[in-house]
Homo-oligomer: A and B are copies of this chain.
Amino acid sequence: MTETTSPLATTAPAARDLANAIRALAMDAVEAAKSGHPGMPMGMADAATALFTEHLRYDPANPAWPDRDRFILSAGHGSMLLYALLYLTGYPDIDLDEIKKFRQLGARTAGHPEYGHAAGIETTTGPLGQGISNAVGFAMAEAHLRARFGEALVNHFTYVIAGDGCLMEGVSQEAITLAGHLKLNKLIVLWDDNRITIDGATDLSTSEDVGLRFTAAGWAVDAVDGHDAAAVSAAIARARLATDRPTLIACRTTIGFGAPTKAGKSSAHGSPLGAAEIEGARKALGWPYGPFEIPEAILDAWRAAAKARAAEGKAWGERFLAAPKELQEEFENAFSGFIPAKLIAEINAFKAKISADKPSVATRKSSELALEVINKAVPTTIGGSADLTGSNNTLTKGLGTFAPGSYEGRYVYWGVREHGMAAAMNGMALHGGVIPYGGTFLAFADYCRPSIRLAALMGIRSIFVMTHDSIGLGEDGPTHQPVEQIASLRAIPGLNVFRPCDTVETAEAWAVAVASQTTPSVLALSRQNLPTLRDAHTDVNLTAKGAYELLPAAGGLAEVSLFASGSEVEITVKARDILAHDGIRARVVSVPCMELFAAQEQAYQETVVGNAPCVGVEAGIAMGWEPILGVPTYFVGMDGFGASAPAPELYKHFGITAEAVADAAKAAIGKIG
Contact = CB atoms under 8 A, between A and B. Distances in A.
A296 interface: no
A105 B646 CA distance: 8
B621 A491 contact: yes
Contact of A208 (B181, B387, B391, B453): B181
Nearest to A452: B446
A443 B457 CA distance: 13
A432 interface: no
A653 interface: yes
Contacts of A500: none
A105 B447 contact: no
Interface string A158-180: 00000011001111111001101
Interface string A392-408: 00000000000010000
Interface string A135-163: 00000000000000000000000000000
A174 to B, nearest CB: 5
A208 B197 contact: no
A476 B112 contact: yes
A419 B170 contact: yes
Contacts of A209: 215-218
B641 A417 contact: no
Interface string A447-472: 10110011011000000000000000
Nearest to A214: B216
A387 B454 CA distance: 22
A493 B483 contact: yes
Identify which of A204, A212, A416, A446 gathers the most chain B CB atoms within 10 Å of its CB.
A416
B111 A475 contact: yes
A624 interface: yes
A596 to B, nearest CB: 16
Interface string A201-241: 01011111111110111100000000000000000000000
Nearest to A126: B479
A243 interface: no
A37 to B, nearest CB: 9
Contacts of A494: 640-641
A388 B269 CA distance: 12
A631 B626 contact: yes
Contacts of A110: 477-478, 643-644
Contacts of A646: 103-105
B127 A444 contact: yes
Contacts of A629: 631
A390 B126 contact: no
A228 B641 CA distance: 40
A170 B168 contact: no
Contact of A385 (B199, B206, B449): B199
A35 B474 contact: yes
B480 A416 contact: no
A425 to B, nearest CB: 15
A112 B644 contact: yes
A104 to B, nearest CB: 6
Given A104-B645, A197-B387, A626-B627, A216 B206 contact: no
Given A205-B413, A626-B626, 8 more contacts: A76-B479, A103-B477, A103-B646, A127-B480, A128-B416, A177-B208, A181-B205, A494-B640
18 contacts: A105-B646, A110-B478, A110-B644, A111-B476, A114-B478, A126-B479, A170-B417, A181-B206, A198-B389, A199-B415, A204-B415, A210-B216, A211-B216, A216-B216, A446-B449, A446-B450, A627-B633, A629-B631
